[in-house]
Structure 1
Amino acid sequence: MTKPMLSIRDLRREYDAGSSRVIALDGVTVDLTAGTFTAVMGPSGSGKSTLLHCAAGLDRPTSGEVTLDGVRLGDLDETGLTLLRRERIGFVFQAFNLISSLTAAHNVALPVRLAGRRIDQAAVMAALDEVGLADRAQHRPVELSGGQQQRVAIARAMVTRPAVIFADEPTGALDNQTSRRVLELLRDLATGRGQTIVMVTHDPVAAAVADSVLLLTDGRLVDHLDGASAEAIASRMARAEATC
């Protein structure tokens, strides 16, 4: 059997809320293989962002286990988690999170610089070329459209050749046409480059671009849809929201 790139076992995350406890994740188990594009959906408060944060080492679960590219995250201290995120994980956020004073090329090179490694300008330009922005390498974020900024963020996420790219609502701030371009790019990274992508989204159209959809409700994994259409995903989401 193919070894999963990301393995999540009985993941549970609880938070203190005054005198009570909030269960954000309630025993989630799933395996994601290399080169797959997975969307995570669910009603508001279902635990999808918490799942992403725990899987990416941004938050520690209360119990359970996350293994990413053969590394058990629970075995790492904070320094080890920081190094893992820098070297084996890429992030794409709704707000782009580009540094306004840096050019596109310098933004893409930032993860390499933070890791203390020599910047390979050819790799930076190759990443920008893959997202169709090699000709905008010297432009700062203010000189780029929202879609171009998100594509720079994707280039930044992929420049270190990470094991997994986590995307949190990557099209949430974009118009429909630009969203399609960004989703096509993520789809091509999975199909053409074998990149593993995990994307949190509320949009059934965006989710339909993925290979599969994980549906969370009240912190539990309640469905796993493979190759579903936007209509089928929307219908399943509506049923999940009706039970909340």
Structure 2
Amino acid sequence: MAHEAVQLRHVTRRYGTGGGAVTALDEVSLDFQHGTFTAIMGPSGSGKSTLLQCAAGLDRPTSGSVAVGGTELTGLSETRLTLLRRRQIGFVFQAFNLLPSLTAGQNVALPLRLAGRRPAPARIREVLERVGLGERMRHRPAELSGGQQQRVALARALITRPQVLFGDEPTGALDSQTSREVLTLLRDMVRDEGRTTVMVTHDPVAASYADRVVFLVDGRVDGELCAASAQEIAAQMAQLEDVTC
């Protein structure tokens, strides 16, 4: 198996045409290795979410290539791309996106049902226990706190045993204590299960849980830090924001 779970090579993403075109990503090349936790940071409009969407196969680059688990995404049909995302990729967003009429267990099982698979109750309980909610399987979202709902969303992302977990501001809607609990879960999954995780965040504290922080400015990679403290990350962000002002 290659060391890289995700590879981006010279990825450019433009929106619009002619004089009004906007370049969100500009010749970005990055590797995300198996069993690592990477945070993506940058000033507003730097291309963070676009990078995540292209890396996860949610958006197609204008040029360049993206590979997940050794599979090149660029030439895949929409059907094959959807199947790859269901089997190999998990997503956690700032909005929990739980269906209010379904229980926690039913929400977790949804990706498997959409893929035409019958989820085993033991597997559903297993992933809910992994996020500390084994006893909340029959509770609906309205009966859960925000942090618990995000844990259900995390369990839902893990039910298919994805190779890569992508998070777009996954703790952005949580208070600081609950945010720390969710980030610790993500950190532990990388350490204990070798789960490759890539997370966009604006929060230096959240980014400090990652092995590596990659900074974007104007759609280009502008440095990185490894095993950095929240203070070091905040200082780097302040420098980048000064430059872009």
Q: TM-score, normalised by structure 1?
A: 0.98
- Distance in 2 between the 1:243 and 1:18 partners? 27
Counting only pairs closer than 5 Å after superposition, residues 13-92 of structure 1 correspond to structure 2 as: 13-16=13-16, 19-92=19-92
String of CA shifts for 1:66-117, please: whole Å, max 9, x gaps.
Answer: 1000110012111111111111110001011111100000000000000111
Aligned to 1:145: 145
**CA drift at 1:143:** 0.3
String of CA shifts for 1:52-79, please: whole Å, max 9, x gaps.
Answer: 0000111000001110001100121111
Give 1:130's aligned amino acid.
Answer: R
**CA drift at 1:17:** 6.6
**CA drift at 1:18:** 7.4
1:9 and 2:4 are equivalent in the alignment: no
Unaligned runs of 5+ in 1: none
Aligned to 2:188: 188
3-state SS of 2:224 partner? strand
Give 1:195's aligned amino acid.
Answer: R
Change (3 A) 1:18 1:173: farther
3-state SS of 2:65 partner? strand
Give 2:228's aligned amino acid.
Answer: A
Aligned to 1:212: 212
**CA drift at 1:214:** 0.6
Aligned to 2:118: 118
- Distance in 1 between the 2:236 and 2:32 partners? 21
Contact 2:2 2:70 in 1 (8 A): no
Unaligned runs of 5+ in 2: none
- Distance in 2 between the 1:138 and 1:183 partners? 25
Give 1:204's aligned amino acid.
Answer: P
Counting only pairs closer than 5 Å after superposition, residues 162-241 of structure 1 correspond to structure 2 as: 162-241=162-241
Q: Give the ranges of 4+ consecutive aligned residues of structure 1 lying more than 3 Å apart after TM superposition.
A: none
- Distance in 1 between the 2:27 and 2:210 partners? 24
- Distance in 2 between the 1:94 and 1:63 partners? 28
- Distance in 1 between the 2:232 and 2:195 partners? 26
- Number of aligned residue pairs: 244
3-state SS of 1:139 partner? coil
**CA drift at 1:3:** 2.5
3-state SS of 2:21 partner? strand
3-state SS of 1:199 partner? strand
- Distance in 2 between the 1:120 and 1:19 partners? 53
**CA drift at 1:19:** 3.8
Give 2:224's aligned amino acid.
Answer: H
Contact 2:89 2:164 in 1 (8 A): yes
- Distance in 2 between the 1:236 and 1:183 partners? 21
Change (3 A) 1:143 1:17: farther
**CA drift at 1:120:** 1.5
Give 2:41's aligned amino acid.
Answer: M
**CA drift at 1:222:** 0.6
Q: TM-score, normalised by structure 2?
A: 0.97
- Distance in 2 between the 1:153 and 1:237 partners? 29
**CA drift at 1:118:** 1.8
Q: Percent identity?
A: 61
